[in-house]
Amino acid sequence: MLKLEGVSKVYHVGTFGSKELHAVQDVSFTVEKGQVVSLIGESGSGKSTIGKMILRLIPITSGTITFDGVDISTIKGGRLKDYYRQVQGVFQDPFSSYNPIFKADRIFQILREEFFPGVKQAEWDDRLHQSLKAVGLSPKQVLNKYPHQLSGGQLQRLLIARALLLDIKLLIADEIISMLDASTRIDVLNLLADLTKQGLSILFITHDLSLGYYISEKSVILYRGRVVEMGSTEKIYKNPLHPYTRMLMASVPRLDKKWETVEAELEGVPSDVSSGCVYHDRCPSAGEGCEQAPPRLVEIEPDHFAACCQVAIETASLAAPEVAQLG
């Protein structure tokens, strides 16, 4: 359904745009129908930039993004509106998506005027009520209310209901529950899980490892705009291969271990890396070759890829005795 191939995004910064900031570098992955893919990484890793490129909010510098086999950079005019009928995004802060001087359900009025001008009022009201009920909202409790009269969870559900009215195929969910309280988070996650059973695909952008594990069957780990590990969520979480993924796992607070002890396990601080592996300045197992060229994403085991020179070397050395025995 969705395919990214060698996607990069470069911003020109500094005086007269003389410097380049590589926000996303050579990223490739797919999202299939009914699949939830978690895009995981710390702040500044390029997660939201990827989401914005998929939504056509910012242009791609290089590479291609295709949706149902069509290069989205070539979509224009009426075809672009058609694209937005199938692909929508919901972002981190629900309050910023609403104009405080208008009632919250104005987002549905705009949707109707833009995409469904020929639908009669009675039919539209029925569609709207069904959509609200699908996300666990009572029309009587949320319609004709101003944003400040509703909770963050209700506002976020309204945005999801808006996407459902378009009968979308792909939802870009960018940190959509990070500002919600714990009791509301699980409800929204379960709602998304139910929607995937109806064929909806979701790119779930998050920095929270536990949320990614809960909702997705595939994970993509980003660091400084590059994919460092990718594959089955179960395999990545049970057997993290890349040193950065291991660091992320170690940094999750645990009940059986004091934070000071975990913090001591983390290595180094990030600095500017002009060549080689983007993580070599922090990696405890970095070798001489790590500074020369970015490592390729290699399939270490079925449905589990890592971009790490040292992991590739270790895997090759473990496989060598087996090859010799077979010979």
Residues in CB range of 270: below 8 A, 6 or more apart: 224, 281, 282
Confidence of residue 51 (pLDDT cuts 50, 70, 90): very high
Instruction: Kindly report the average pLDDT of the chain as a whole number.
Output: 83
Establish if 282 belongs to a structural domain: no
Q: Assess whether pLDDT exceeds 80 at residue 252.
A: no
Confidence bin at 294 (pLDDT 50/70/90): confident
Nearest residue to 180 via CA among 170, 172, 190: 190
**Is residue 225 one of the residues assigned to a domain?**
yes
Total domains in the fold of the chain: 1
Write out the two tokens for 273.
């890396």
Q: Band the pLDDT of 25: cuts 50, 70, 90.
A: very high
Of residues 119 and 191, more confidence is placed in 119
Task: Evaluate whether residue 28 is within a structural domain.
Answer: yes
The whole-number average pLDDT for the span 23-37 is: 94
SS3 label, residue 220: strand
pLDDT of residue 274: 57
67 pLDDT higher than 80: yes
Label residue 105 by pLDDT band (50, 70, 90).
confident
- Res 320 pLDDT > 60: no
Q: Is residue 276 pLDDT above 80, yes or no? A: no
* Helix ranges (DSSP H) in the chain: 47-54, 78-86, 106-115, 121-134, 139-142, 152-165, 182-196, 209-215, 233-238, 243-250, 259-265, 309-326
Whether residue 281 lies inside any domain: the answer is no
Does residue 289 fall inside a structural domain? Answer: no
Q: Nearest CA to 155 among 143, 165, 140, 169?
A: 143
Q: What single-letter amino acid sits at 244?
A: Y
Flag the least confident range among 9-23, 37-51, 173-187, 267-281: 267-281
> Considering only CA atoms, which of 69, 22, 32, 59 is closest in space to residue 222?
22
Residue at 324 is within a domain: no
Show the domain range for 33. Answer: 2-86+168-236
Q: Higher pLDDT residue, 171 or 289?
A: 171
With respect to residue 266, please indicate whether it lies within any of the assigned structural domains.
Answer: no
Strand order in the sheet with 170-174: 87-90, 170-174, 201-206, 36-40, 218-223, 226-232, 304-306, 298-301
Tokens of 50: 């990827």
Which of 90, 56, 264 has the alpha carbon at shortest distance from 178?
90
Distance CA 231, CA 304 (A): 4
Residue 237 has pLDDT above 60, yes or no: yes
Over residues 78-104, the mean pLDDT reads 87
Q: Higher model confidence: residue 248 or residue 60?
A: 60
Give the predicted TM-score (pTM) of the model.
0.84
In a domain, 10, yes or no: yes
Q: Looking at residues 54-62, what average pLDDT do you find?
A: 94
Residues forming beta bridges with residue 203, ordered by sequence position: 37, 172
What band does 314 get if pLDDT is binned at 50, 70 and 90? low
Percent of all residues in the chain with a pLDDT value above 70, rounded to a whole number: 87
**For 76-89, what is the mean pLDDT?**
89
For residue 247, with 0-12 CB atoms within 10 Å meaning exposed, 13-18 middle and 19 or more buried, which class applies? buried
Asked if residue 313 has pLDDT above 80, the reply is: no
Give me the torsion for CA of 53, 96, 142, 177, rounded to 10°.
60
pLDDT at 33 over 50: yes
Q: By the 8 A CB rule, do 90 and 155 touch?
A: no
Indicate the pLDDT class of residue 226, thresholds 50, 70 and 90. Answer: very high
Classify the phi-psi angles of 52: left when phi > 0, otherwise alpha if psi is within -120 to 50, otherwise beta: alpha
Range from 165-174, 201-210, 314-323 carrying the lowest mean pLDDT: 314-323
Give the contacts of 1 (CB within 8 A, at least 6 positions apart). 30, 31, 32, 33, 67, 68, 169, 170, 201
pLDDT at 60 over 90: yes
Backbone φ and ψ of 209, nearest 5°? -65, -40
CB 126 within 8 A of CB 108: no
Model pLDDT, residue 316:
57
Domain of 40, CATH number, reads 3.40.50.300
Average pLDDT, integer, range 291-306: 87
**3-state helix/strand/coil string of 141-181:** HHCCCCHHHCCHHHHHHHHHHHHHHCCCCEEEEECCCCCCC
